[in-house]
A and B are shown apart, each in its own frame.
Chain A
Amino acid sequence: METTHLFGVNGMNITNAAYIVAAILFIVGLKQLGSPATARNGNRMSALAMLVAIVATVVGNDIASWEFILAGAIVGSAIGAFSARKIAMTSMPQLVAIFNGFGGAASAVIAAAELIRLIDNGADIAQDVSITIMASVIVGGVTLTGSFIAYGKLQGIVPTRPILLPIRNVINVALLIGMIASTVWLVIDPSMTAFMIAGAIALALGILVVIPIGGADMPVVIALLNSYSGIAGAATGFVLGNTVLIIAGSLVGASGLILTRIMTKAMNRSLANVMLGGFGVEDGAASAGGDDDRPVTSIQHEDAAMMLAYAQSVIFVPGYGLAVAQAQHQVRELADLLKAKGISVRYAIHPVAGRMPGHMNVLLAEANVPYDELKDLDEINGEFQRTDVAVVIGANDVTNPSARTDKSSPIYGMPILNVDQAQSVIMMKRGMSSGFAGVQNELFFLDKTQMLFGDAKDSVEKITAEVKDL
Chain B
Amino acid sequence: MFDAEALIIALTVFVLAIFIGYEVITKVPPTLHTPLMSGSNAISGIVIVGALLVAGQDDGIAGQILGAIAVGLAMINVVGGFMVTDRMLKMFRRSGQK
What residues make up the interface of A, taking CB atoms closer than 8 Å to B? 26-27, 29-31, 33-37, 39-40, 42-44, 46-47, 49-50, 53-54, 57-58, 61-66, 68-69, 71-73, 75-77, 79-81, 83-85, 87, 89, 92, 95-96, 99-100, 102-103, 105-107, 109-110, 112-114, 116-117, 120-121, 126, 128-129, 222-223, 226, 229-230, 232-234, 236-256, 258-259, 262, 349, 351, 354, 356-359, 361-362, 365-366, 368, 370-374, 376
Contacts and interface: CB of A to CB of B under 8 A. Distances in A.
A109 to B, nearest CB: 4
20 contacts: A34-B27, A36-B29, A39-B89, A44-B86, A50-B82, A53-B49, A54-B48, A64-B58, A69-B55, A80-B79, A84-B81, A85-B83, A95-B80, A99-B41, A113-B63, A113-B67, A233-B47, A236-B50, A249-B44, A255-B37
Contacts of B36: 30, 33, 255, 259, 357-358
Interface residues of B, number: 85
B53 to A, nearest CB: 6
B91 to A, nearest CB: 4
A370 B25 contact: no
B81 A80 contact: yes
B73 to A, nearest CB: 4
Given A33-B28, A113-B67, A245-B49, A61 B84 contact: no
A40 B93 contact: no
Contacts of B75: 72-73, 75-77, 80
A358 B76 contact: no
A100 B26 CA distance: 21
Given A113-B63, A117-B57, A76 B10 contact: no
A84 B34 CA distance: 14
A136 to B, nearest CB: 9
Contact of B67 (A69, A223, A349): A69
Contacts of B88: 89, 92, 362, 365
B2 A72 contact: no
A116 B64 CA distance: 11
